[in-house]
Chains A and B, each alone.
Chain A
Amino acid sequence: MQNELIQLTGDVRRKPITAPGGDREKINLDAVRERLATSRGKQMWRSLDELAGTPEFARYVEDDFPDRAGLLSVDRRSFLKLAGASLALAGVAGCARQPQEKIVPFVKKPEQLIHGVPLQFATSQVFGGYARGVLVRSNEGRPTKIEGNPDHPASLGATDVWMQADVLQMYDPDRSTSVLNFGEVSSWDQFVRAMNAALAQQRRTRGAGLRIVSETITSPVLADQMAALLRRFPQARWYRHDPVSPDNARAGARLALGQDVDTIYRFDRARRILSLDSEFLLGDPGSVRYARDFSQRKRVRLGRSAMNRMYVVESSVTITGAKARTTACR
């Protein structure tokens, strides 16, 4: 039976209707060169065969399933044999004994963890240097979903796209899963050893050759650690770089107030809002809270009869502009 099947399928494979390889014409390279020389712009070709424009290839491309074995090449008896065999063997799959599975419990169970019940952790997501309170659901130790923290003033239980997408970073296949040294897998021990050697050298020059580049840090713990490091290496320099940063807004604040300050808007108190190219509803660390405050003032319930009114002047279309009463866009 099995032999017969193999033979049958062998036969089937030997007789496809449209063979992509085999005895087709050789590519005429001169014709190809001529075509390439005359074509301009976006005249794509997917393979040399297509470029050569052989009739076999044209037929191959037109066929919906070019690699299928031809059903017509099986004769009636073989077809019935195959159909009978598949019917007869269909029930056999159910006769298998269930494989022996293993239960692997913890050696020391983490506190509060109940297997099968997700745990919620209150943590923060950093955006533009500012932490925003979130709740992360963790299934058996793996974070799976981020939601807003109702008790955090920058979230009030809501999230934005970056908070929602942050969990994907965890499972990003491009994320390094181990310490790398020039592309080679290394270990934390070796990293600490190499780091200590480098720092020992810097200690002699009081950090004159030490440069640190980081994003904006507003975490008090990390800022304190950086300050301690800079105290130990007074000659070292710490540079900040953010891909997107409100540097110009800060420079403006410095001009106006003479010190480094960030603006916190109170949209819950504003009756008229004028936004000059400022997308405060999306893309600001406080956006989630601003959106809530802004929309609260749009409600005409609880004795309030007037909505807030917003005017937006912007250089490109934004979410904030879409919510405005009047938008000027050039």
Chain B
Amino acid sequence: MPQIFHSSTNTLSRVSIIAAAVAPLALIMAGSQISRSYPQRVNVPINQPVPFSHEHHVNELGIACQYCHHSVEKSSQATVPPTETCMSCHSQIWTNSPLLEPVRESYRTGIPIKWKKVNDLPDFVYFNHSIHITKGIPCQHCHGNINQMQITYKPQPFFMAWCLDCHRAPEKYMRPRDQVYNFAYDWKAAAERYFEQTGRDNAQLPRSQREFGELLTKDYHVNKKQLSDCWICHR
């Protein structure tokens, strides 16, 4: 009686056993990747009326975040700057650039530029920029390396689990207040400077960012217990 199964079937069966174990995992990962890019639009650059480059303005020119997003320390919203702010420089430089025509037109006609919102939280979430900045949560943590973005995109899907990760343990990401706009943050150097500023003993320097963060939660009066309460974000 001839063999029903060819010898290669051995390999096939082994591969299919492994595949059966790996396939669901791969499917889930592929699904999550698709859901990140299509419905969540993570890492998808959004075309704006003016191709504004954060990379150019922040990295190359070194303009501070607050120059344009001036209310980020005072208000729930960081706000997109008025046309006037753009024109404070662009009435002097690149005055004939065709890329900047929408800005000049807005300034001439008084009709605002309509920017597309990139980082859009659902309307049932209350988010306040000023409190995060005041308590030492860096721009970078939510907005990613925005200083390297040619066209702005959303670096996180902003899932609730991601918010809670920090709300349950803010010490993982907290920095001294003067470091929140820093995109080349080094916790060791920051800790040393912070100890100098606050007149602390250098012998007690923290051994990790987490330890440093713990110290900051106390200094900045962050009430960790209430941070993961529902009403903090869902008001």
B117 touches A103 (CB 8 A): yes
Q: Which residue of B lies closest to A113 (CB)?
A: B71
Give which listed residue, A100, A108, A115, contacts B79 with CB less than 8 A: A115
Q: A101-B120, A114-B75, A115-B77 are in contact. Are A106 and B115 (CB under 8 A)?
A: no
- Cβ distance A137 to chain B, nearest Cβ, rounded Å: 15
Q: Which residues of B contact A107 (CB under 8 A)?
A: 82-84, 106-107, 110-112
Give which listed residue, B74, B80, B83, contacts A117 with CB less than 8 A: B74
- Chain B facing A: main interface SS: loop
Is A92 positioned at the interface, with any CB of B under 8 Å from its CB? no
Determine the distance from Cα of A109 to Cα of B83 in the docked complex, in whole angstroms.
9
Q: Which residues of A contact B81 (CB under 8 A)?
A: 105
Inter-chain contact count A-B, CB under 8 Å?
69
Is A95 positioned at the interface, with any CB of B under 8 Å from its CB? yes
Determine the distance from Cα of A105 to Cα of B70 in the docked complex, in whole angstroms.
12
Q: Which residue of B lies closest to A101 (CB)?
A: B117
Determine the distance from Cα of A160 to Cα of B162 in the docked complex, in whole angstroms.
48
Interface size on B, residues (CB 8 A): 28
Q: Which residues of B contact A264 (CB under 8 A)?
A: none
- Cβ distance B58 to chain A, nearest Cβ, rounded Å: 19
Determine the distance from Cα of A101 to Cα of B118 in the docked complex, in whole angstroms.
8
B114 touches A104 (CB 8 A): yes
B117 touches A116 (CB 8 A): no
Give which listed residue, A96, A105, A114, A116, contacts B113 with CB less than 8 A: A105
Within 8 A of B (CB), among A76-124: 95-98, 100-109, 114-117
Is B62 positioned at the interface, with any CB of A under 8 Å from its CB? no
Q: A103-B80, A105-B83, A107-B82 are in contact. Are A116 and B71 (CB under 8 A)?
A: yes
Q: Which residues of A contact B85 (CB under 8 A)?
A: 109
Q: A103-B115, A116-B75, A116-B76 are in contact. Are A108 and B38 (CB under 8 A)?
A: no
Q: Which residues of A contact B122 (CB under 8 A)?
A: 98
- Cβ distance A105 to chain B, nearest Cβ, rounded Å: 5
Determine the distance from Cα of A116 to Cα of B73 in the docked complex, in whole angstroms.
11
- Cβ distance B46 to chain A, nearest Cβ, rounded Å: 8
Q: Which residues of A contact B38 (CB under 8 A)?
A: 97
Within 8 A of A (CB), among B62-95: 70-71, 74-77, 79-85
Q: Which residue of A lies closest to B71 (CB)?
A: A114
Indicate the member of B38, B112, B114 with the most A CB atoms within 10 Å: B112
Q: Which residues of A contact B79 (CB under 8 A)?
A: 105, 115-116
Determine the distance from Cα of A106 to Cα of B117 in the docked complex, in whole angstroms.
15
Is B199 positioned at the interface, with any CB of A under 8 Å from its CB? no
Q: A115-B71, A116-B75 are in contact. Are A108 and B82 (CB under 8 A)?
A: yes
Q: A97-B38, A116-B71 are in contact. Are A103 and B114 (CB under 8 A)?
A: yes
Is B39 positioned at the interface, with any CB of A under 8 Å from its CB? yes
Q: Which residues of A contact B115 (CB under 8 A)?
A: 102-105
Q: Which residues of A contact B70 (CB under 8 A)?
A: 114
The 8 sampled A-B contact pairs (Cβ below 8 Å) are: A96-B39, A101-B117, A101-B120, A105-B112, A106-B112, A107-B110, A108-B82, A114-B74
